[in-house]
Structure 1
Amino acid sequence: MADQKSTSKKRKRDQEPPTIAVANSSSHNPGPLLVIYPAVQPPASISFKTYARKKPRPDQDSAVDDVIIAGETDQVEFVTNEEESRRAAKSGCRYIVALHNKRTGAISLLPASRPPQILQRTVKALKSIQTTDAPTTPQYQQARTTLGETFGTKKAKAAIRAQERNKVDVSAMEGVMDYVMEGIEKGAEGLMTAEEAKEIADSNRLIPPFSATATEPDDVYPLHSIIPENEWKALSVSSFDEASDNKERIALLPHSRSEWVNARMRIWGQTDSGKDRKKNLKLLLYISALFTFRNAIERRDFSADQIRERLAALPGIVVDGLLSRFTEKARSSTSHQATSATKTFLLTNLLALCLKLDDFATNTETLSHDLNMSKDQANQLFRSLGCKISSLGERERARLGVSDSGETKYAILNTPVVFPKPRQKRRN
C-alpha cells in the first residue's frame, strides 16, 4: 500500500505544469467580470448584459473599463453604479481574471486588470413616485413646535410659548420701518463717533501724556510731559560730581535700596560715561524720588510735611509738583490723600522714565522686585504704556549690551504705539 501511495504521488509531481496564455478581449467582448451586488441578491435565473459606451470617457484607463452591466426581474432592476465603481477603481481595487480550461488544462489570463462592477438596484414599483423636497426652515420649525406642544414637557412648552412671544412679525413692521429708522437716526445725533470715543478713552488712561503719531520711541512720552521743564531745570546733580565713588553717589539718592537704580548709577555716575551723563543722572535722581514718594503715600496717615522732610535733598518746586500730580485733596480739606488712580498714575510715570533710561527695553523682573509687586502686575503696567513683553533677539541684546541667554522678558516700546484693547465682560 505504501508503494502504491508513493507511486501515485510521484506521478502527480511528474505531470507537466499547465500552460498559461493571454486571452484576447475587447469592449465588445470583455469576458468575465467581477460584480458586487447590493444587499438584495438577484435570482440565479436573471441574465445580465454588458454595454459599452460609444464615446469612452477620457479619464478611463482602457476601453474595457468603460463597460456597464444591466439586468432586471419583474420587480427589480440592477445596473452599474458608475460613481461607486469609479471610486473603487481610483482607490486601487482592481483584479485580473484567469480562465481555466479543464479539458486542456490551459489557463488564459485577460490582458488587463479591471475594477469591480458595483451594482445598484431600483424597485420598479417605486420609480413612478416623485421624491418630495426637503422641508424649508419655517416648515421644519412649525413641525418641531407642533411636536413639542403635543409631547413636550412643561418646561419645553413654556420655552415654546416664550419663543412665540419674542418672535418679531416682520410683515407687521413694513409700514413703520421708515419711522423707526428716522427715530434711530434722530437719537444717534448726540452719540460720539469712533474717533471721539477713542480720544476720550485715551485721555482717561492713567499714563503720562503721549503722542500716538510718534515715529520714534523717545517721542511717544516726551520728557517734559512727565517732568515739567521748570522742575527739570531745578534738579541739580553737582553733588554726584563731588562724590569720590559709587557708594557715596548711591547714598546721595533719596531711595538707595533699588537694585535697578543702583545698577544704572554705577554706569552713569562715572565721569567718562558719555555726553548724556547729566541728563541720565537727573532721570535717576527723579526716579529715585518717585520711589521714595510712593513708599511715603502708601501709609494712610502720611502728610505733606513728612514727604518734604524725606525729600529734603530735592528742590521744593519738585516736591510740590509731586504732591499736586500724584495726590488729591478732599473737598474743604487741606490734607493730601492718595487714591488707586493716583498710585497707578505715579507708577506709569516712573516706568515711562525707566524705559527712557534703558533705551526702551526694560527688565521687568528687576523693577517688579524693587516695587514689591508681582511680575504680572509690572508687565500689566508696561502693557498699559503700549509695551510688548518678550525676550530680546540677538541683535537687540548686542545693541543694548545685554549678556543674558535670551530667556529674560523685557518690556519693549515700539512705534507706532499700540495700547491693549479693553477686556469685554462675559455675558451670563
Structure 2
Amino acid sequence: MSKRKQHDSESSGPKLALEYAKADVDAGVEGPFLAVFPGVTPPQSTTFNVYKTASDDGKAKRKKRILEADTGKVEFVGQNFGENARQGYCRYVVAIRNKKTNKLVFKDAPVIAINRTVKALKTLKPSTVGQEFMLAKNALGEAFGTKKIKQQIKSVERNAVNVNTLETVADILRDTIAEKTSALPSKEEIKAKADEDRPIPPYDINATKVEDIYKLDTLISPAEYQIIPFKPLLEKGVQLSTILPFKTSSYVNDGLKAALSTSKKDRHRIRLLLYLSFLMAFRTIPDKKLNNTETVNAIMGNCPSLILENFFQRFTETPESATGDDRQKHTFTPKSKDKLLCWMLAVSLHLENFNMDAATLTHDLSLKQTRVNELFRSLGCKVSELTPTQRSQMGLEASDAQGMKRAVLTVPLTFPLPKRGPKKAK
C-alpha cells in the first residue's frame, strides 16, 4: 500500500516546531501534574504545593512527588509513590503552544490520585455514651448467643453510623451534593453526546433533503469514485464471480445483473454496487491478517490502493505496539466493525432511494435481523411494518407481509434516545 502525497498547499504553510521540555526537567522546574479527584473536587482557585524527598539518590527517588492543598475545611494530599500511588501503564504529556514562536513544547505530566481528609474529623473523639453497655452486651452475645444473634451483632457493627460525626460534615456534604448535581448533564446533552459517539458516517443534522444527510461524497470520496474499476463489468459475457471481491452477495449480484441487462447501462449504480462489494470483502479479512499484505490483496482482488488505504483509515484502529515495533499495526474493534456495517447500509440506502427492505442485506452480512434493524435505527432510519399502500404496491397480502419491515430515512434527521437502566424482564 502506497501513501498518498500531500498537496503543495499543505506543505507551503508555516511549520510547527516540536520540542520536548528536557531543559525544564534538568533545571528542576515542577509540573504540570494530572490530578485525579475521587469524590469531592476542590475549587479551581485552590493552590497546591509540591514536595519532593530530601535525598536525590537514585533515579526513582528523584521522581517522587507529594501534592498538598488546604481549603480550610478539607485537606487534599496525593503522591506518586507508595501504597496510595495510582497504578497505570500510560505515560501522559501536556502540549503547550507558544503563539509567538509557533513552537509546541511537550512536558511530562505524571498522574497523581488525590485523597481528601475533613479536618474537623481528625481530632474528633468518639462518644462514650452507652458504649460500655453495648460492648458488654455484644460480648455476652458473642460468648453465649445463637448463630443468628452473632450474625446480627456483626451486621450492626458493620453498618453503624455516627450521627454526631455526620453533623460536623453536613454543610460540606450539602454543598458538595448541590455542586455535583448542578453539573450533571441534561437530557439534551446526554443525547448530543450519544449522537457524537455513534459509529456512523459523517452526517448533516440540519439537512433539508434526505440525500444530503449522508452525502455520497462523504461515503465515497470523489477520488475513490473516479477509480472504481467498473469497466470490466460492461464487457459482454463477463462472469461476475471473476471480478467481484465478495462473490456471495445476493443483493450485489442481483443488482448488477439487473443494471447490466438494460440497453443503457446505469454506470453510477454499477459503481456503487462494486464499491459495496469491496466493503463486504474488507469485512471478511481476519483481524490477525490485516497486516499481511498478501492475504489482504488476495481477499480484496482488484481493489485500487487508494480505496484500500481509505478503508484501513476509516474502519480499523492502530493501537500502540507493546513490542516497540515501528511498523503500523491495524486491528478491528467493535466500534470500527459497527462503523463498517453502517457505511454499507448508508451506501445501500442511496441505491434504494432511502427506502429499502430491512432484510435485504441480512443474509449477505450473516447477521440477525434484529441486529440489522438496530444498525438502521442508529443511522436515524425508521424501521416499521409495511403499510397497506406498500403491501398493495408489492402485491402482497397482509398475511404474506407479516414480519416484513422497511427501513426509511427521512428529514429532519433524528436519532433514538439512549437507553437507560437494565432491560425489562419479559
Q: How far apart, in 1, do the equivalents of 2:290 and 2:204 lie?
A: 37
On the 8 A contact 1:383/1:420 being kept in 2, the answer is: no
| Aligned-residue CA RMSD (Å) | 3.9
Aligned to 1:374: 368
Residue equivalent to 1:213: 206
Counterpart of 2:221 (choices 215, 218, 228) is: 228
The answer to whether residue 329 in structure 2 is matched with residue 335 in structure 1 is yes
Q: Secondary structure at the match of 2:284?
A: helix
Question: Who is 2:303 aligned against?
Answer: 314
SS in 2 for 1:421: coil
Residue in 2 aligned with 1:419? 416
The 5 A counterparts of 1:174-185 are 183-185=176-178
- Residues in 1 aligned to 2:336 and 2:240: alpha-carbon distance in whole angstroms: 30
1:324 and 2:317 aligned: no
* 2-structure distance, mates of 1:272, 1:417: 40
CA distance in 1, matches of 2:218, 2:405: 28
What is the deviation of 1:181? 6.2
Q: Secondary structure at the match of 1:390?
A: strand
Which residue identity does 2:273 align to in structure 1?
Answer: L
Aligned partners of 1:179, 1:301: CA distance in 2, in Å? 55
Partner of 1:244: 236
1:203 to 186, 196, 209: 196
Equivalent AA in structure 2 for residue 369 of structure 1: H
> CA 1:423 to 1:218, structure 2 compared with 1: closer, same or farther past 3 Å?
farther
Shift of 1:294: 0.8
Q: Is the 8 A contact 1:250 1:262 kept in 2?
A: no
Q: 1:377 corresponds to which letter in structure 2?
A: R
User: Does the 8 Å contact 1:303/1:335 carry over to 2?
Assistant: no
- The answer (yes or no) to whether the contact 2:355–2:409 under 8 Å persists in 1 is yes
Q: Name the count of aligned residue pairs.
A: 267
Q: Partners of 1:367 and 1:309 in 2: how far apart?
A: 24
- Measured at CA, do residues 426 and 410 of structure 1 come closer, stay the same or move farther in structure 2, by a change above 3 Å? closer
Mean Cα displacement is larger for which, 326-335 or 300-309? 300-309
Residue 259 of structure 2 is matched in structure 1 by 268
Counterpart residue number, 2:13:
none
C-alpha contact (below 8 Å) 1:220/1:417 kept by paired residues = no
Rate the CA distance shift 1:423–1:354 in 2: closer, same or farther, 3 A. farther
Instruction: Tell me, yes or no, if the aligned pair for 1:231 and 1:317 is still in contact at 8 Å.
Output: yes
Is structure 2 residue 359 aligned with structure 1 residue 362?
A: no
Give the direction of change, closer, same or farther, for the CA distance of 1:322–1:297 in structure 2 (3 Å limit). Answer: farther
Q: Deviations along 1:197-255, whole A, 9 cap, x unmatched?
A: 333221111111223333443232222222223222322422222x225x635642222
Give the TM-score normalised by the residue count of structure 2: 0.52
How do 1:87-106 residues align onto structure 2 when only pairs under 5 Å count?
Answer: none
* 1:285-296 paired onto structure 2 within 5 Å: 285-296=274-285
- CA distance 1:426–1:338, change in 2 (3 Å): closer
Q: Which amino acid in structure 1 is aligned with residue 295 of structure 2?
A: Q
TM-superposed deviation, 1:305: 4.0
Tell me the secondary structure at the aligned position of residue 362 of structure 1: strand
| Aligned-partner Cα distance in 2 for 1:280–1:295 | 23
Instruction: Verify the 8 A CA contact 2:191 2:418 in the aligned structure 1.
Output: no
Structure number with greater CO (CA < 8 Å, separation at least 6) is 2
Measured at CA, do residues 213 and 424 of structure 1 come closer, stay the same or move farther in structure 2, by a change above 3 Å? farther
Distance in 2, matches of 1:393 and 1:272, equals 34
Q: Distance in 2 between matches of 1:322 and 1:234?
A: 15
CA distance in 1 between partners of 2:410 and 2:315 (Å): 27
Distance change in 2, residues 1:302/1:392 (3 Å) = farther
- Deviation of the 1:315 alpha carbon: 1.8
Unaligned runs of 5+ residues in structure 1 are 1-152
For the pair shown, the structure with the greater C-alpha radius of gyration is 1
Q: Deviations over 1:103-138 (max 9, x none)?
A: xxxxxxxxxxxxxxxxxxxxxxxxxxxxxxxxxxxx
CA–CA distance in structure 1, aligned partners of residues 259 and 203 of structure 2: 27
How far apart, in 2, do the equivalents of 1:229 and 1:418 lie? 28
Does structure 2 retain, via aligned residues, the 8 Å contact 1:250–1:265? no
Q: Report the TM-score when normalising by structure 1.
A: 0.52
Answer yes or no: is the 8 Å Cα contact 1:329–1:337 preserved in 2.
Answer: yes
Is the partner of 2:244 in helix, strand or coil? coil
What CA distance in whole angstroms lies between the structure 1 residues aligned with 2:172 and 2:364?
62
Q: What is the identity, as a one-letter code, of the residue corresponding to 2:251?
A: W
Give me the whole-angstrom Cα distance separating, in 2, the residues matched to 1:198 and 1:361.
25
Residue 359 (structure 1) shift: 2.2
For residues 364-420 of structure 1, what are the alpha-carbon distances to aligned partners after superposition, in whole Å with 9 as ceiling and x for unaligned? 334221112222222222222233333322433566x67684332333333333325
